Amino acid sequence: MKDFPKDYYYWQEKDDLELIGHLQGKIRQYYDFLERTGLYEVMDRSYRAYYGGKLDSKSTSLFDSASLSREGKQGELVYGKANHYSNVTDHTVQLTTSNKPAFQCRATNSDYKSLSQATLGSCIVDYYWREKSLSAAYVEVTSMALVLGESSIHRPWDRSSGSSYIADVDKNEVKKEGDLKFQVCGPLDVIRRVDAKCVDDNQWYIVRSYVNRWDLIARKPELKDEIMLVTSSQYEDVKTFDLRMNTKSSIDSSDELVL
């Protein structure tokens, strides 16, 4: 049996700063694994092929299929690129998502209360499907899975959604009740154990999302100075961190933070 030092404890029990450092290490290990095994290269080529980009180049252009080029000794030939890969993918998504999934809550017991709760549950699922963009997330996650190999739907709690209520009458403070929101995540957005044998073996996940720093400041005004000092580049110092067209240098993302 392995002997652990007396001050050894589980990494999830560490203090805030130590925990953040440990999580950053796990994020880097995950991206290093994708690059080392060639999985990132496969995703990058598939991503470029879907948008009609060049597969043998790391240029920022992703839409070569929309342009014509001249070839031949005197430029007498005109070449165009037909993006069949995108066409086949989009048709596959359409065939896969054309029929709505039949979500139906079932009661374990046959008593009236359990049956009523099952009926209510089915109505809630249908409400989120129609009114809370779950149907759109279903189509998007299918498309992303076909292009990048896998995709997930993350459902965090959104504090800015839901009905409003008066939290403090004296201060006239109004807050939101909050509600679920659905975020489609690609394989680079969900960091987990790479040695897990199955999905059930993953006891933790690190989900990447982008937020507006000013929304964070509105929620935590006392931390404004600290939030303003944080830059997304601190967490995007490895090339395997994103597939978003590789044009970050020309895009103003000063308001964007990675969580």
pLDDT tens sequence across 179-236:
888 999 988 889 988 887 777 778 888 888 878 888 888 888 888 888 888 765 555 5
Domain borders along the chain are 209-259
Instruction: In whole angstroms, give the CA distance from residue 52 to residue 64.
Output: 6
pLDDT greater at residue 68 or residue 34: 34
Query: How confident is residue 57, by pLDDT bands cut at 50, 70 and 90?
Result: low
Per the structure block, which two tokens stand in for 188? 């680079």
The percentage of the chain sitting over the pLDDT mark of 90, rounded to a whole number, equals 20
Sign of the C-alpha dihedral, residues 114, 119, 125, 127? negative
- State the pLDDT at residue 248: 46
- State the pLDDT at residue 249: 47
Residue 241: pLDDT over 60: no
pLDDT digits (tens, 9 = 90+) for 92-122: 999 999 888 888 899 989 899 999 999 999 9
List of residues 6+ apart from 201 with CB closer than 8 A: 193
Instruction: In whole angstroms, give the CA distance from residue 237 to residue 39.
Output: 19
- State the pLDDT at residue 73: 81
Residue 61: pLDDT over 80: no
Q: What is the mean pLDDT of the chain?
A: 80
Question: Which residues partner with 211 through β-bridges?
Answer: 257
The percentage of the chain sitting over the pLDDT mark of 70, rounded to a whole number, equals 81
Instruction: In whole angstroms, give the CA distance from residue 162 to residue 132.
Output: 11
Alpha-carbon separation of residue 15 from 21, 24, 229, 234, 258 (angstroms): 10, 14, 21, 21, 21
Is this structure's pTM higher than 0.75?
yes
